[in-house]
């Protein structure tokens, strides 16, 4: 197993916008916004308590958005290039970048784990092989665990 760098940051919960956002914590309409921004096709799978919307772009980036009660509760990504995390993380992006800024040598870490008060974000990768996941604490309500986010 490779050595992982871990960042644990306690930040206050960021306020949610009342408008639909293309992001973690957004509503189901945000998936279509994400697909348009990523120039991706969308495939929907129903898993009972939750749905998975898989977005696949022509550039080879795959983003899976997990929805429960019309809310994007988790996402995962994989591809040859990293996706637009500002788009995908939405209001959690500022906390994520602040946590990365506190890392002693952020450019040397192949794996980062950021724990915010309202979300957890894991990312790893190297040239042409990027992957990650982000999720809200409510994933258990849909019967999901972090390990389920592929």
Residues 18-65: pLDDT tens digits?
Answer: 333 458 999 888 888 888 888 889 999 999 999 999 999 988 899 999
Give Cα 126 to chain centroid, integer Å. Answer: 18
pLDDT tens per residue across span 4-14: 333 222 222 22
- Residue 74: inside a domain: yes
> What is the pLDDT of the chain when averaged over all its residues?
81
Q: 149, 24 in Cβ contact below 8 A? A: no
pLDDT tens per residue across span 71-113: 999 999 999 988 899 999 999 999 999 998 887 665 555 788 9
Q: What DSSP designation does 82 have?
A: -
Give Cα 46 to chain centroid, integer Å. Answer: 19
What φ, ψ does residue 95 adopt, rounded to 5°? -65, -35
- Mean pLDDT across 134-144: 93
- Residue 72: inside a domain: yes
* Count of domains forming the chain: 1
- Residue 1: inside a domain: no
pLDDT tens per residue across span 119-132: 999 999 888 889 99
Domain range holding 74?
7-148
What's the pTM? 0.80
- Residue 2: inside a domain: no
Distance (Å, whole) CA 48 – CA 58: 29
SS3 assignment, position 101:
helix
């Amino acid at each position: 197993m490779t050595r992982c760098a871990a960042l644990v940051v306690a930040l206050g919960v960021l306020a949610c916008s009342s408008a639909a956002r293309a992001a973690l914590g957004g509503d189901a309409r945000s998936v279509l916004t994400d697909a348009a921004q990523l120039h991706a096709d969308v495939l929907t799978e129903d898993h009972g308590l939750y749905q998975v919307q898989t977005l696949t772009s022509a550039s080879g980036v795959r983003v899976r958005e997990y929805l429960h009660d019309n809310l994007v509760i988790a996402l995962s990504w994989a591809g040859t290039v990293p996706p637009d995390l500002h788009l995908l993380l939405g209001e959690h992006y500022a906390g994520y970048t602040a946590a990365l800024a506190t890392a002693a040598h952020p450019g040397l870490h192949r794996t980062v784990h950021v724990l915010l008060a309202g979300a957890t974000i894991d990312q790893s990768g190297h040239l042409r092989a990027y992957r990650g996941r982000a999720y809200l604490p409510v994933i258990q309500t849909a019967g999901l665990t972090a390990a389920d986010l592929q």
